[in-house]
Amino acid sequence: MTSLFIDGHTLTLADIVRVANHPGRLGLGLAEEAARRMRLSEELKTKLIETRIPIYGVTSGFGDSNTRQIGPAKVEALQRNLIRFLGCGIGEYAKPAVIRATMLVRANCLARGHSGVRPEIVVNLLACLENDILPLIPEQGSVGASGDLVPLSYLATLLTGEGTVLHRGEERSAADALAEAGIEPLVLSAKEGLGLVNGTSFMSGYAVLALHDAAEVAYAADVCTAMASAVLMGNPGHFANFLFEQKPHDGVITSAQLIRQLLGGADTRGPQAAALSQDGFRELDDPIQDRYSIRCAPHVVGVLRDTIEWAERWLTVEVNSSNDNPLFDVAESAVRNGGNFYGGHVGQAMDALKTAVASVADLLDRQLELVVDEKFNNGLTPNLIPVFAADDREAGLHHGFKGMQIAASSLVAEALKDTMPATSFSRSTEAHNQDKVSMGTIAARDARTVIELTQQVVAIHLLALAQAADLRGEKVVNPGVRAARGAVREVAPFLDRDRPMRQDVARVVDLVASGTLRKALA
């Protein structure tokens, strides 16, 4: 088994996705240098406690209660009460993939070695991950500062052997799951409860997985555009390389290149010359330019691609940071109080991501309307129904993709509604101690929701495009588009008569989200 050693500096977003989505495939361990740094930080914390100076969250209360100092004998009880009073999460439990990502990110942040916690904290977190022992974390209850206090308290509770967990898909007591895995429950010492809850790891778990899924949406959207151009018998010259060299945004260039590749190159010949009438007029057989939802598609999807690129850089910094407070400066033998728990970068990235994704959903819905509407689809059947002879008993009974287009439009409206920027809604909380907060967790959850809605839209559109390609036949479907149609047909058959399509949509969503579509066209 390949092993991943956590050191607080080199964790990649791809590592997080792999651990989150494929449990058990990587061995996990704490790097020796990280353990050394953690021990030094923990030793400094102990020395500072002995001096009787007030240390926030260690020998003082939390938040607005920081003026209340306690003695060394009470430090463990303080940490125990912290994770208990924060155990008030609301709503549905986060999905297992999000929880795995959260645990790995929190372990990595603590492994930087500035939080004053023992290496055993990280070692036990990683052992729980390896054994797929996951705390049940309610999704709601975090304002993103001081980080994800409420959600992360469930992670801390797991390590103490209390509460209920999900162990390889089965709910059971944490104590029983830890005992079966041979993991000793921990008594949290000074600062360790705060070190576990005071950070951006929950929002980062959502965000990293959202970025991964958004990248597959961007790829699938370009596939949809190529297929739509082909089945509508559009103008491939709209994707000529020359155009994009003149406005060279990286994401736009990438999208246009993929579309061009799937279309087998861009035909740049344009309309052919012909004689005009005596009055100097003629009606063209084909439009010179396709509608914006086809012609401008790289400029829409390219925005998403570029958003993903800079958001990935921000998230890579975030998951390899000490997003905790206070931090212990071993070199200067000092404790530093700051605001590294603030989730501003995560929130801003996710607000931008959900807007870019929803815009792609809207684009695909407009393409879908062109494909299903007999007024615009250049000779395809109305609503992509199968072809029936006039004297066939089935003639006039079928409505094909009419319901699917209605559903897609509804999904897009919901996605667009959710683009309201969560980071604009800071609330003053905790006796005005947390008087400016990030709302990063809500932004990340919103991004997750918008992406899930858009995945459904992508699936509906791919099904419609595969149907259109089958109706057109081989004469207008080039190899790239044929391969895309074939990938869809592996999981969903041709619509030969009206039938419920819910399961078809679900299978195509998985085709996209799993990366199988990308692999099929590689």
Give the Å distances, CA to CA, from 247 to 85, 238, 239, 253.
54, 14, 13, 9
Q: Is 231 left (phi over 0), alpha (psi -120 to 50) or beta?
A: alpha
What is the token pair recorded at 414? 């919901």
Is residue 277 reached through a cis peptide bond, with omega within 30 degrees of 0 on the bond before it?
no
What is the token pair recorded at 331? 């070199």
What single letter denotes the amino acid at residue 207? A
Q: Name residue, tokens 């399509």.
A: 501
Radius of gyration of the chain (CA): 27
What single letter denotes the amino acid at residue 446? D
CA distance 141 to 130: 27
What single letter denotes the amino acid at residue 435? D
Tell me the three state secondary structure of residue 428: coil
46: buried, middle or exposed (CB in 10 Å: 19+, 13-18, 0-12)?
middle
Chain Cα centroid distance, residue 57: 32
Query: Is 56 a residue of the active site?
Result: yes
CA distance 106 to 155: 9
Residues 6+ apart with CB under 8 A from 336: 326, 327, 328, 329
257: buried, middle or exposed (CB in 10 Å: 19+, 13-18, 0-12)?
middle
Tell me the three state secondary structure of residue 176: helix
Which of 124, 118, 125, 109 is CA-nearest to residue 41? 118
Q: One of 56, 93, 206, 342 is an active-site residue; which one?
A: 56
Is residue 146 reached through a cis peptide bond, with omega within 30 degrees of 0 on the bond before it?
yes
Q: What is the DSSP letter of 277?
A: P
Tell me the three state secondary structure of residue 299: helix
CA distance 450 to 416: 8
Secondary element (H or E) of residue 134: strand 133-135
What single letter denotes the amino acid at residue 192? E
One-letter-per-residue 3-state SS of 498-509: CCCCHHHHHHHH
**Which residues have a catalytic role annotated?**
56
